[in-house]
Amino acid sequence: MPVMNIIEAVNSALHIAMEKDPTTVVFGEDVGFFGGVFRATVGLQDKFGEARCFDTPICEQGIIGFALGCALNGLNPIPEIQFADYMFPAYDQLHNEVAKSRYRSGGHYPCAMTIRTPYGGGIHGGHYHSQSPEAQYLHTPGIKVVMPSDPYEAKGLLLASIRTPDPIIFFEPKRIYRASKAEVPEEDYEIPLGVAKVVREGRDLTLVGWGAQHQQNIRAAEAAAKEGIDVEVIDLRTLNPVDVETISTSVQKTGKCVVAQEAPKTMGFAAEICALIMERCFLHLEAPVHRCAGFDTPFSNAHEHDYMPDMKRVLHSIRQTAKY
């Protein structure tokens, strides 16, 4: 089985999707001839032609508006927004049109599309190329949100997303685009949406995360084990729909929980996870649910490593929660 990084896994998924479904089209800024700013679409235009993989103007609202028209006319669009930070100009198209198409048409026009976009810090991109805006779209009914944490997940979740008859934002963790490597099957496979993965079993505390943050969580759990704290680690993989059952089952067992996210702390998705735990696990809790997150400031390029919750910050949260 070949070893791939996340870029290669995404590229493999796109090739398979376009081979098996002639209605699938890929477009965005520099995705055609150049193969994408991160090279995720390399080879697609050569293999499938300019009619199915092509460049667009630098106009995010136009990219998503065009994807909306494609979807309503029977195509399966996969638009790329070059950085998640740039998706905000298309917020009206996403929030008021794409997300609501299925509902306003009585199910006749579900507006299926998969919007690929790299998110997060770790590449010294500054405040315009480093944000983690998943919470913005989780508060938009009608849009599903997927955030893989490794190459195997990236390929399987992307193929499942492309074949789901709903609009999906597929956030790709650019910090580990090439750093994360794993064995990935060359053939077609899917990972079901809405199913979290217990990556490490434990008895003392539950640690929940997603995307690039999951890698820091694993390291923190391994460090905690050396201190006698047995941490159960959950990789959510899909944020909407979220796998509430896996989270609640784990917390009911451990009695303690830390939720780690790269995004700013206030009003982030970690707060929603905390609320779900309080609703479902209140009588099982032995400590307050703790959030380990980015700071409530614009992303700082100069202080990038201080801003993002690294292994040490997650480990500190584990220690503080475990001692109750």
Active-site amino acid positions:
60, 129
Q: How far does Cα 133 stand from its chain's mean position?
A: 10
Can you name the residues that pair with 24 across neighbouring β-strands?
A: 76
Phi, psi for residue 45 in degrees, rounded to 5: -65, -40
Phi, psi for residue 265 in degrees, rounded to 5: -70, -50
Residues 125, 118 contacting (CB under 8 angstroms): no
- Amino acid identity, position 233: V
Instruction: List the one residue out of 158, 129, 118 whose CA is nearest residue 13.
Output: 158
Preceding omega of 241 cis (within 30 degrees of 0): yes
How big, in percent rounded to 5, are the helix, strand and coil portions of the chain?
40, 20, 40
Q: Which residues contact 311 (CB under 8 A, 6 or more apart)?
A: 216, 219, 220, 223
Interhelix angle 6-20/151-162, rounded to 10 degrees, is 30
Long-range pairs for 154-157: beta carbons < 8 A, 24 or more residues apart: 154/6, 154/9, 154/10, 154/13, 155/4, 155/9, 155/10, 155/12, 155/13, 155/184, 155/185, 155/189, 156/189, 156/190, 156/191, 157/190, 157/191, 157/193, 157/237, 157/238
Structure tokens at 225: 């084990």
First to last CA, the chain: 45
